[in-house]
Chain A
Amino acid sequence: MRYEAPTTTKEAANLLAKAKGKAFVLAGGTDLLVRMKAGMLEPDLVVDIKRIPATRKVTKTASGFTIGASVSGAELGENKAVKKAWPGVVEATELIGSDQVQGRCTMVGNLCNASPAADSVPAMIAAGAKAAIVGPKGKRSVAVEKIVTGPGKTSLKKGEMIESISLPKGGAKIGDAYLRFIPRTEMDIAVCSAAVCLELGAKNVIKKATVVLGAVAPTAVTVPAAAKAIIGTKLDDDALDALAAACEAACNPIDDKRGTIEFRTEVAAVLARRAAKIAFERAGGK
């Protein structure tokens, strides 16, 4: 196995593009190294991106925020501006693992590992995050929901890596929230989860909304019907019931050691309901 630690994104993309055999980007390594140690992966090339300055920082831009691909969960959590604008995204990222894992894990690693239960992904999608992809043919920007195509599968092509994630500006009338269900209180994988992002219009009526569920289908699922159920309302009980029903209808989970189909479906709707309430409050709704 070859290990490389380039200092520019272009160099990294070149190494990946030219690699023979299996090549992997190494960010925090909290998925990659675990899988290597368990004998599930035997890479020929590992490209560590933590020495690339462009991936190391969080920047405020005219259109919002850019979060480098090797910014750890703990580092993101210390960024007051992002936390203020996107508390749901930051909370979701901070839910990953434990203190030790937080020191290493990244949002992009969480995304590219392509687990249906990844915590930061539904929150990123709800917030309208975009991924900046660098490859042999240059840069492109893609909505986060377009990255994961199935369990363990992404739309990234050979030689491509994600340099950063960008989030919109946010605003006083925008609120987001993410909740997951785990049987324990930490060190667990989401049995199901829900992210809600909404924007209020005049008189605190919901103007826009995105509802995303995690761990109830092969990829995170956006539920337009759930969003529709609460748009134009002030999140009254009927609206919440309709949102819950739409979420249940959108679930397509599996039965496994972590939960049954019935449980995941029921609880995903419960979480969506609760997340919607938090997001509403964060957007200034009453």
Chain B
Amino acid sequence: MAEAVDYKYIGTRPVRPDGVDKVTGRAQYGADPILPGMIHGRILRSPHAHAMIKSVNLSRALELPGVHAALSGADFPGGIGDEAIGGESGGTMSDLAKNVMARDKVVYHGQAVAAVAAQTPQLALQALKLIEVEYEVLPVVLDVRAAMQESAPLLDPTCITKGVKPEPEKPSNVVSVTTFNRGDVDEGFEQADLVLEREYIVPMAHQGYIEPHGCVAQANEGGAATVWCSTQGHFEFRAATSKLLGMNMADLKFIATEIGGGFGGKTVVYLEPVALLLSQKSGKPVKMQMSREEVFRATGPTSGTYGTAKIGVKKDGTITAAKIWMAFEAGGFAGAPTGPAAMAVFSPYTIENFKVETLDVLVNKPKVAAYRAPGAPQSMHAFESILDEAADELGIDPIDIRLTNAASEGTTAPYGPKFPTIGFVECLEAAKNHPSYKAPVPEGAGRGLAAGFWFNVGMQSSAEVHVAENGTVTVVEGSPDIGGSRASMCLMAAETLGVEYESIRAVVGDTQSTGFSNVTGGSRTTFATGMAVVQACEDIITQCKSRAAATWGVDDDQVEWEDGHCVPKPGVNAEVKPLSLADMAAAAAKTGGPISGRASLNAQGAGASFSVNFTDVAVDPDTGHVEVLNFTAIQDAGKAIHPAYVEGQMQGGAAQGIGWALNEEYIFNDDGVMQNAGFLDYRIPVASDLPMIDCEIVEVPNPSHPYGVRGVGETPIIAPLAAIGNAVAHATGVRINELPLSPPRIVAALDAAHKA
């Protein structure tokens, strides 16, 4: 492990600069801007889960007084190509276009079919009722296994499965198959003392961000436009909108408002191109906001999956072979997270023989979008569950079996590269030494443990740092702040410049006022944008040193930067006072003008973040109710810049993972209509459902980041699924391999076990 470094600002927990406005309600979210003359847009959604659109007639809606514009798919420019959407989400631009507004076909219930803009939201709703759409209803396929049958209705009759040889001749709903192999699995299973094979099912789940999608768009007559929106990446939203509307990107300004959660779900556009087109048509600013029901019916959940897992283990716990086959629901358009699911699943372990196969399968459900560590919760739920069952059978402690097989520096990751310094073993050891793990399992309860892993990404970021005339500092970045990243940027700037946190503020610039930055996603912001901020601050230091050198009449290399001051190098004969950043700022007019630094980069070396979670649960055998008695999340953050916000990520991910494990699921009727499109029946945990999530941050610095940062945002959601499942298995003595572990499912499983 690298040596711990003492920092002055990094690792402290100052109040976030955006906090006051958020708790007082002043903060402006996506649907908050109000512009003079603004009107309100609403979307007409498909009542069918699968149908051809024969015609759309907007004329009666347009005749309603107070209606200013109406549109359907035909109003969008055609010719959108098949290039990838990019960012964290799968699929092509042409699919994205149809997901924003259907053209000749709808592939899920709730897909956008038309839109209107009117004087008031009520009037817009009334106008929607006047739009006439003629459908030819098609048979619906909802289950991923049913969708793979030859007799299944085809969502896309031109879809030929990619990734299998020979290329199939007939179309099917299977878009692609992703395969990773190492060694010889059959031989590996031969060597094992214990071989287990199980089926695992994980339901479709929504990100559940509290702020529904919202935006305001204002187009002018000259072709320029401004869009305020709740987004994880306003640059990507600008690019997608310009493509979908055939607009000159230079004409578009996207402003990222405050965001009330995204978790991957706000990396793709839904409303923005529609609002902008309505604004162009009406000549008025248009506000659009989804209801919670629309969010559930038509925005990206993550895939439900059906899969099988097989494991071979020796008596000493060594894994000899592992195999995963898993079909992912893509929803109505291709793009399930099959790649990362396959790459992640075995990453915590050194396994000589493995095979993993993941399938991207079309079903008549909403098109999936990224959700925290896309694909990994599903695939790792399967493996972390079967590994636990193997440990039980062999009488090995769940931490020990993971230590026996743990990946460490130099291990070849299943997806190719060798791991640099990683902290999985450290997380396992922290779990072993944790007082809650050493404590006995409460009477009648069961304990479960599981591990998590996420790659994390770097990607492109820009930052500018401006020093004001009194030495205070503004950081301008292009990464929407979802989890407190502005505070983290200020801390890294404070540390680098040797300036107090309180004299630094960070702002998220719009697309016209700062350099390109990719989405806040892939757990990359504190790592990559942080790296840009640090480099921009270093740029300032270089400039300060040369200005001090000029002031003192010495060479540039005779000046050093020490604790926020320019000082002459030891031995340099200068009878001078050290110059602080404030001194430099005050003298700026005489030394070359205002001081500012900038950096734009494509960050390399995002360090993987591993986690270990454990929990004790009590199950009421008569009602199937699961009470989570305690939950401990341990994760390697590399270096926690602002520990409170690292813990926030760990606790939030645990809450989402526990919800997914226990109650969250999409329930459809046979026609493909979601039955629980609201928070009453789509049950994310409420505060009283959860214990305090105990966090332990492990710090194994990432050598590729100036302060050792690893991304922490995604890993936390992975382990809870299997940790809860394993705990329920230990509490009840019955393994239930289908999530959620809802009360009816538990009671049914216990009844079945009782009868057997």
Q: Is B667 an interface residue (CB 8 A)?
A: yes
Q: Are A186 and B747 in contact (CB under 8 A)?
A: no
Contacts of B136 in A (CB 8 A): none
Please give the distance in Å from B739's CB to the nearest CB on chain A. 14
Residue from B681, B686, B747 within 8 A of A258 (CB atoms): B681
Residue from A181, A186, A189, A267 within 8 A of B686 (CB atoms): A186
Between A and B, 16 residue pairs with Cβ closer than 8 Å are A183-B683, A183-B742, A183-B743, A184-B683, A184-B689, A187-B680, A188-B683, A189-B680, A191-B743, A256-B675, A257-B675, A260-B744, A260-B748, A262-B744, A262-B748, A263-B744
Chain A residue at minimum C-beta to C-beta distance from B669: A257
Q: Is A270 an interface residue (CB 8 A)?
A: yes
Q: Mark A184-228, 1 if CB is under 8 A from B, else 0.
A: 111111010000000000000000000000000000000000000
Q: Is B685 an interface residue (CB 8 A)?
A: yes
Chain A residue at minimum C-beta to C-beta distance from B663: A183
Q: Are B689 and A181 in contact (CB under 8 A)?
A: no
Q: Are A183 and B625 in contact (CB under 8 A)?
A: yes
Q: Are B625 and A187 in contact (CB under 8 A)?
A: no
Q: Are A184 and B685 in contact (CB under 8 A)?
A: yes
Q: Is B676 an interface residue (CB 8 A)?
A: yes
Chain B residue at minimum C-beta to C-beta distance from A271: B623
Contacts of B689 in A (CB 8 A): 184-185
Contacts of B747 in A (CB 8 A): 262-263, 266-267
Residue from A186, A257, A263, A271 within 8 A of B743 (CB atoms): A263
Contacts of A260 in B (CB 8 A): 744, 748
Chain A residue at minimum C-beta to C-beta distance from B293: A38
Which residues in window 454-496 of B have CB below 8 A to A? none
Contacts of A258 in B (CB 8 A): 681
| Distance A259 CA – B751 CA, assembled complex (angstroms) | 16
Which residues of B are in contact with A by a Cβ distance under 8 Å? 125, 622-625, 662-663, 667, 675-676, 680-681, 683, 685-686, 688-689, 742-744, 747-748, 751
Contacts of B686 in A (CB 8 A): 184-187
Which residues in window 114-135 of A have CB below 8 A to B? none
Q: Are A270 and B680 in contact (CB under 8 A)?
A: no
Q: Are B667 and A257 in contact (CB under 8 A)?
A: yes
| Distance A257 CA – B748 CA, assembled complex (angstroms) | 15
Interface of A is mostly: loop
| Distance A1 CA – B748 CA, assembled complex (angstroms) | 49
**Cβ-closest 8 pairs across A and B:** A263-B744, A185-B688, A270-B622, A257-B675, A257-B667, A257-B676, A260-B744, A185-B689
Q: Mark A237-276, 1 if CB is under 8 A from B, else 0.
A: 0000000000000000000111110110011001100000
Contacts of B125 in A (CB 8 A): 39
| Distance A262 CA – B755 CA, assembled complex (angstroms) | 15
Contacts of A187 in B (CB 8 A): 680, 686
Residue from B623, B662, B667, B675 within 8 A of A267 (CB atoms): B623
Q: Are A181 and B744 in contact (CB under 8 A)?
A: no
Please give the distance in Å from B203's CB to the nearest CB on chain A. 12
| Distance A258 CA – B688 CA, assembled complex (angstroms) | 20
Please give the distance in Å from A209's CB to the nearest CB on chain B. 21
Q: A interface, how many residues as a size bin?
A: 20 to 34
Chain B residue at minimum C-beta to C-beta distance from A262: B748
By CB atoms of chain B within 10 A, which of A181, A183, A188 has the most?
Answer: A183
Q: Are B681 and A263 in contact (CB under 8 A)?
A: no
| Distance A64 CA – B680 CA, assembled complex (angstroms) | 36
Contacts of B667 in A (CB 8 A): 257
| Distance A39 CA – B676 CA, assembled complex (angstroms) | 17
Given contacts A183-B742, A257-B675, A266-B747, contact A188 B680 (CB under 8 A): yes
Q: Are B744 and A184 in contact (CB under 8 A)?
A: no
Contacts of A39 in B (CB 8 A): 125
| Distance A216 CA – B622 CA, assembled complex (angstroms) | 17
Contacts of B662 in A (CB 8 A): 183
- Sample of 9 further A-B pairs with CB below 8 A, known A181-B623, A183-B662, A191-B743: A39-B125, A181-B625, A181-B743, A184-B683, A186-B688, A187-B680, A263-B624, A267-B743, A271-B623
Please give the distance in Å from A55's CB to the nearest CB on chain B. 28
Please give the distance in Å from A118's CB to the nearest CB on chain B. 15
By CB atoms of chain A within 10 A, which of B623, B675, B676, B683 has the most?
Answer: B623
| Distance A183 CA – B681 CA, assembled complex (angstroms) | 10
| Distance A214 CA – B378 CA, assembled complex (angstroms) | 37
Q: Mark A72-101, 1 if CB is under 8 A from B, else 0.
A: 000000000000000000000000000000
Chain A residue at minimum C-beta to C-beta distance from B688: A185
Contacts of B622 in A (CB 8 A): 266-267, 270
Chain A residue at minimum C-beta to C-beta distance from B740: A183
Chain A residue at minimum C-beta to C-beta distance from B622: A270
Chain B residue at minimum C-beta to C-beta distance from A189: B680
Q: Are A259 and B683 in contact (CB under 8 A)?
A: no
Q: Are B681 and A257 in contact (CB under 8 A)?
A: yes
Chain B residue at minimum C-beta to C-beta distance from A266: B747
Contacts of B680 in A (CB 8 A): 187-189
Q: Are A270 and B744 in contact (CB under 8 A)?
A: no
Q: Mark A146-188, 1 if CB is under 8 A from B, else 0.
A: 0000000000000000000000000000000000010111111
| Distance A266 CA – B621 CA, assembled complex (angstroms) | 11
Contacts of A181 in B (CB 8 A): 623, 625, 743
By CB atoms of chain B within 10 A, which of A39, A186, A187, A263 has the most?
Answer: A263
| Distance A187 CA – B751 CA, assembled complex (angstroms) | 28
Please give the distance in Å from A247's CB to the nearest CB on chain B. 13
Contacts of B743 in A (CB 8 A): 181, 183, 191, 259, 263, 267
Contacts of A259 in B (CB 8 A): 743-744
Contacts of A188 in B (CB 8 A): 680, 683
Q: Are B681 and A184 in contact (CB under 8 A)?
A: no
Contacts of A266 in B (CB 8 A): 622, 747, 751
| Distance A186 CA – B689 CA, assembled complex (angstroms) | 8
Contacts of A271 in B (CB 8 A): 623
Please give the distance in Å from B474's CB to the nearest CB on chain A. 40
Please give the distance in Å from A64's CB to the nearest CB on chain B. 33
Which residues in window 36-82 of A have CB below 8 A to B? 39
| Distance A263 CA – B747 CA, assembled complex (angstroms) | 7
| Distance A188 CA – B743 CA, assembled complex (angstroms) | 14
Please give the distance in Å from B749's CB to the nearest CB on chain A. 12
| Distance A186 CA – B688 CA, assembled complex (angstroms) | 7
Chain A residue at minimum C-beta to C-beta distance from B668: A257
Chain A residue at minimum C-beta to C-beta distance from B678: A38
Chain B residue at minimum C-beta to C-beta distance from A179: B623
